[in-house]
Amino acid sequence: MKLGRLNHVGVATPSIEAALRFWRDVMGARVIGEPFDMAAQGVRVCFVETPGEDGTAGTQIELLEPLGEGSPIAAFLEKNPLGGQHHLAFEVPDIHAAKVWFEGQGKRVLGEPRMGAHGTLVFFVHPRDMGGVLTEIMETPDGH
């Protein structure tokens, strides 16, 4: 298993609209995606990119707003009403090999690999096995 780059930081928010104002007006983000629903995951998602220096690519922030009843981030927002850092996502070349690796290390993989917001397969690893950090492992998207 070869861990790749940090792809994005997931941030839960009660309102993507309000979060976008913050990232644009206060943090200076200029690359802002269109929000979209991932109904199967129970979240509305929007990517913003932190401004890089001199036009270089920054780092992606994945804004997550609960969608529908029983959204997996509803409980998180109950504990953190303002929202907050939710997960870190790392790229790997082979999602199935990565799952075997983490399970072999005794880490609790939450479910089977499923389609993520970048159109590649992802899975999550339980924060209690990862130093308190909910960790998303995603197959590297094309163009990286």
From the CB of 54, what's the least distance to Co ion, in Å? 27
User: Which of 44, 136, 137, 139 forms a contact with Co ion (CB under 5 A)?
Assistant: 136
Three-state DSSP string of 74-125: HHHHHHCCCCEEEEEEEEECCHHHHHHHHHHCCCCEEEEEEECCCCCEEEEE
Alpha carbon distance 19, 82 (integer Å): 10
End-to-end Cα, the chain, rounded Å: 18
If one asks whether residue 91 binds Co ion (CB under 5 A), the answer comes out as no
From the CB of 62, what's the least distance to Co ion, in Å? 5
Catalytic residues: 136
Interaction pattern, residues 23-62, with Co ion; x per rule: CB under 5 A: ---------------------------------------x
> Residue 90 burial (CB < 10 Å; 0-12/13-18/19+)?
middle
**Stretch of 11-19, 35-43, 75-83, 134-142 contacting Co ion, by CB under 5 A:** 134-142
Q: Which of 135, 89, 87, 72 is nearest to 108 (CA)?
A: 135
User: Which of 29, 61, 77, 89 forms a contact with Co ion (CB under 5 A)?
Assistant: 89
Tokens of 100: 């075997």
Count of residues near Co ion by CB under 5 A: 4
Q: Which is nearer to Co ion, 29 or 134 (CB)?
A: 134
If one asks whether residue 10 binds Co ion (CB under 5 A), the answer comes out as yes
Q: Which is nearer to Co ion, 53 or 58 (CB)?
A: 58
User: Which residue ranges make up the site for Co ion (CB under 5 A)?
Assistant: 10, 62, 89, 136
